[in-house]
Chains A and B, each alone.
Chain A
Amino acid sequence: MQKEYLTVNSISGPLVIVEKTRDVKYAELVEVEFSNNEIRRGKVLEVQEDKALIQMFEGTIGLDVENSKVRFLGRVQELGVSKDLLGRIFDGAGRAKDEGPEIIPEKRLDINGNSINPYTRDYPSEFIQTGISTIDCMNPLVRGQKLPVFSGAGLPHAKVSAQIARQATVLGKKDSFAVVFAAMGITFEEADFFMKDFYKTGAIERSTLFINLANDPAIERISTPRLALTCAEYLAFDLDMHVLVILIDMSFYCESLREVSAARKEIPGRRGYPGYLYTDLASLYERAGRIKGKKGSITLLPVLTMPEDDKTHPIPDLTGYITEGQIIISRELHRKGIYPPVDVLPSLSRLKDKGIGKGKTREDHSDVLNQLFACYAKGKEARELSVILGEAALSDVDKIYLQFANEFEESFVKQSEYENRSIEESLSIGWKLLNKLPLQELKRIREEYLDKYYKK
Chain B
Amino acid sequence: MSKKSKIVKVAGPLVIASGCRGARMFDLVRVSDKNLVGEIIELKSDKAYIQVYEETSGIGPGENVELINSPLTVELGPGLLGSIYDGVQRPLDKISLKYGDFIPRGVEFSALDYEKKWHFRPIAKKGDHIGPGDILGEVDETVLIKHKIMVPASVEGKIVEIAEGDFNIKEKIALVNNKDKDISISMSSKWPVRNPKPFKKKFSPSVPLTTGQRVIDTFFPMTKGGTACIPGPFGAGKTVTMHEVAKWSDADIIVYIACGERGNECADLLLSFPELKDPRTGRPLLERTVVIANTSNMPVAAREASVYTGITIAEYYRDMGYNVAIMADSTSRWAEALREISGRLEEMPGEEGYPAYLSSRLAQFYERAGSVECLGSDRRKGTLSIMGAVSPPGGDLSDPVVQATLRVVKVFWGLDEKLAHARHFPAINWLESYSLYHDNLREFIKNNISQDQIDLKIEAMRLLGEESSLLEIARLVGIDSLSFEDRLILEVAKSIREDFLHQNAFHEIDTYTSLIKQHRILKVIMLFFSLAKTKLKEGMSFEEILKLEAKEKISRLKYIEESKLEEFDNIEKELKEAFGKSKE
A13 at the interface (CB under 8 A from B): no
A45-53, A171-179, A399-407: which lies at the B interface?
A45-53
> Is there an interface contact between B506 and A366, defined as CB atoms closer than 8 Å?
yes
CA distance A275 to B260 in the complex (A): 14
Question: Which of B264, B475, B476 contacts A289 (CB under 8 A)?
Answer: B264
> Is there an interface contact between B264 and A119, defined as CB atoms closer than 8 Å?
no
Q: Which residue of A lies closest to B478 (CB)?
A: A393
CA distance A393 to B475 in the complex (A): 10
> Is there an interface contact between B104 and A320, defined as CB atoms closer than 8 Å?
no
> Is there an interface contact between B62 and A49, defined as CB atoms closer than 8 Å?
yes
Q: Which residue of B lies closest to A144 (CB)?
A: B264
Q: B136 CB to closest chain A CB, in angstroms?
A: 33
> Is there an interface contact between B96 and A117, defined as CB atoms closer than 8 Å?
yes
CA distance A455 to B57 in the complex (A): 63
Q: Which residue of A lies closest to B299 (CB)?
A: A115
Question: B283-310: contact bitstring with A at CB < 8 Å (1 yes, 0 no)?
Answer: 0000000000101111010000000000
B161 at the interface (CB under 8 A from A): no
Q: B526 CB to closest chain A CB, in angstroms?
A: 20
CA distance A321 to B262 in the complex (A): 9
Residues in B neighbouring A454, C-beta threshold 8 A? none
Question: A268-288: contact bitstring with B at CB < 8 Å (1 yes, 0 no)?
Answer: 111000011011001101110
> Is there an interface contact between A118 and B270, defined as CB atoms closer than 8 Å?
yes
Question: A87-126: contact bitstring with B at CB < 8 Å (1 yes, 0 no)?
Answer: 0000000000000000000000010111111111111100
Residues in B neighbouring A119, C-beta threshold 8 A? 84, 92-93, 95-96, 270, 293
> Is there an interface contact between B297 and A286, defined as CB atoms closer than 8 Å?
yes
A436 at the interface (CB under 8 A from B): no
Residues in B neighbouring A114, C-beta threshold 8 A? 55, 102-104
A374 at the interface (CB under 8 A from B): yes
CA distance A27 to B105 in the complex (A): 15
B393 at the interface (CB under 8 A from A): yes
B376 at the interface (CB under 8 A from A): no
> Is there an interface contact between B300 and A279, defined as CB atoms closer than 8 Å?
yes
Residues in A neighbouring B9, C-beta threshold 8 A? 46-49
Known: A115-B102, A124-B264, A275-B336. A312 touches B396 (CB 8 A): yes
Residues in A neighbouring B478, C-beta threshold 8 A? 389, 393
A314 at the interface (CB under 8 A from B): yes
Residues in B neighbouring A282, C-beta threshold 8 A? 260, 295-297
Question: Which of A26, A113, A144, A374 contacts B422 (CB under 8 A)?
Answer: A374
- How many residue-residue contacts, CB under 8 A, span A and B? 214
Question: Which of B266, B337, B423 contacts A118 (CB under 8 A)?
Answer: B266
Q: A125 CB to closest chain B CB, in angstroms?
A: 10
> Is there an interface contact between A117 and B475, defined as CB atoms closer than 8 Å?
no
CA distance A121 to B262 in the complex (A): 11
CA distance A318 to B42 in the complex (A): 30
CA distance A274 to B285 in the complex (A): 40
> Is there an interface contact between B353 and A269, defined as CB atoms closer than 8 Å?
yes
A209-217, A220-228, A322-330, A417-425: which lies at the B interface?
A322-330
> Is there an interface contact between A118 and B395, defined as CB atoms closer than 8 Å?
no
> Is there an interface contact between A275 and B343, defined as CB atoms closer than 8 Å?
yes
> Is there an interface contact between B475 and A385, defined as CB atoms closer than 8 Å?
yes
A11 at the interface (CB under 8 A from B): no
CA distance A286 to B102 in the complex (A): 12
B458 at the interface (CB under 8 A from A): no
Residues in A neighbouring B270, C-beta threshold 8 A? 118-119, 121
Q: Is the interface of B mostly helix, strand, loop or mixed?
A: mixed
Task: Identify which of residues 376-420 in chain A touch chain B, using a CB-to-CB cut-off of 8 Å.
Answer: 377-378, 385, 388-389, 393, 395
Residues in A neighbouring B421, C-beta threshold 8 A? 345-346, 377
Q: B100 CB to closest chain A CB, in angstroms?
A: 8
> Is there an interface contact between A276 and B58, defined as CB atoms closer than 8 Å?
no
Known: A114-B102, A275-B339. A120 touches B61 (CB 8 A): no
> Is there an interface contact between A25 and B506, defined as CB atoms closer than 8 Å?
no
B356 at the interface (CB under 8 A from A): no
CA distance A440 to B59 in the complex (A): 66
Residue among B103, B104, B296, B478 with the highest chain A CB neighbour number at 10 A: B296
Question: Which of A28, A353, A443 contacts B58 (CB under 8 A)?
Answer: A28
Question: Which of B298, B420, B475, B555 contacts A115 (CB under 8 A)?
Answer: B298
> Is there an interface contact between A283 and B96, defined as CB atoms closer than 8 Å?
no
Question: Which of B55, B101, B104, B391 contacts A291 (CB under 8 A)?
Answer: B101
CA distance A270 to B354 in the complex (A): 11
CA distance A114 to B491 in the complex (A): 55
Instruction: Jot down 26 A-B pairs with beta carbons below 8 A, ordered by A.
Output: A22-B62, A25-B58, A26-B10, A26-B59, A47-B60, A114-B102, A114-B104, A116-B263, A118-B267, A119-B92, A120-B101, A144-B264, A266-B343, A269-B352, A270-B352, A278-B336, A282-B260, A285-B297, A312-B395, A313-B394, A326-B235, A346-B235, A348-B235, A354-B268, A370-B423, A378-B422
The chain A residues found within 8 Å of chain B, CB to CB, are 22-28, 45-49, 76, 110, 112-124, 144-145, 237, 266-270, 275-276, 278-279, 282-283, 285-287, 289, 291-292, 294, 311-314, 317-318, 320-322, 324-326, 345-346, 348, 350-351, 353-354, 366, 370, 373-374, 377-378, 385, 388-389, 393, 395, 440, 443-444
The chain B residues found within 8 Å of chain A, CB to CB, are 8-12, 55-62, 84, 92-93, 95-96, 100-104, 233-235, 258, 260, 262-268, 270-271, 293, 295-298, 300, 333, 336-337, 339-340, 343, 346, 349, 352-353, 391, 393-396, 417, 420-423, 475-476, 478-480, 498, 504, 506, 552, 555
Which 6 interchain pairs have the tightest Cβ spacing? A312-B394, A27-B57, A282-B296, A286-B297, A121-B267, A114-B102
